[in-house]
Amino acid sequence: MFVFDSTTALVTCILVGMLIARRKPSRRGATPRDPDRTRGRLLQAAFEEMHRSGFRSADLDAILATAGVTKGALYYHFDNKEALGYAVVDEVLTSSMREKWVRPLQNAKNPIDMLVRIVQSISLKPEDLQRGCPLNNLSQEMSPLDAGFRKRTAKVFKDWHDAITMALRRGQKRGVVRSGVNASETATFLMAAIEGYVSLAKNSQEARMLQSGKRSVSRHLESLRPARVRARAADRD
């Protein structure tokens, strides 16, 4: 799943606020004393509120209170609520995706091993089960209503899909992934399976549901290894 726990989101957002911030001319109120840090706090607070309540129900006053900033500071960085929501997708969700999936898969010698490791790391914390996947939640809520959100979430899904696809193709060249595997279709299947289990776990509020999903997805990943590799592993066992 494209799942983060709260620690991942916080670290990502701090980095986003400090390294990716774009300064804008002030329209209301005084310029914040530390614009980059203020922007990072706003993005983190907005992410948390959107993950908890959805975008449409997200309360700007709650975001301001959590971030500890004024309304003037909000409008110094973002034109409106939609612009803030777009920035959460473009920066927080995109950066978290890259940290969770893209970079590890780019550097993996064996993509099957890395994919199993990532799947097994999916959080079982009660708060994460309760809220589900922030990317999937936002896509389901806003894609039918707002083209800006639909295009942005589609791009994050594409980054995820492409990271898995490219990793599997590299694995095929190295002989650690079966040559007959359709990498693109397999990537789509894995994403759908992971998000499906996360949604079921969110609905049931049962860690067992997600644990079952993690085992099933891991078994499917093991089936992508060449027969000779599986045979060697069985001999070792």
Structure tokens at 79: 């034109």
Residue 135: the pLDDT is 96
Alpha carbon 147 to chain centroid, angstroms:
20
Residue 132: the pLDDT is 94
* Tokens 């530390």 sit on residue: 34
DSSP state of 236: H
d(CA 181, CA 148): 34
Cβ–Cβ under 8 Å, residues 110 and 216: no
43-74: pLDDT as tens digits: 999 999 999 999 999 999 999 999 999 999 99
Residue 35: the pLDDT is 85
119-158: pLDDT as tens digits: 999 999 999 999 999 999 999 999 999 999 999 999 999 9
Give the number of C-alpha atoms closer than 13 A to the C-alpha of residue 53, restricted to the C-beta side.
13
d(CA 128, CA 109): 30
Buried b / exposed e along 148-186 (16+ C-beta atoms within 10 A): ebeebbeebbebbbebbbbbbbbbbeeebbbeebebeeb
Measure the CA angle with vertex 216, ends 92 and 165; round to 5°. 50
167-208: pLDDT as tens digits: 999 999 999 999 999 999 999 999 999 999 999 999 999 999
d(CA 58, CA 35): 23
Cβ–Cβ under 8 Å, residues 31 and 116: no
What confidence category does residue 26 fall into, taking pLDDT thresholds of 50, 70 and 90? very low
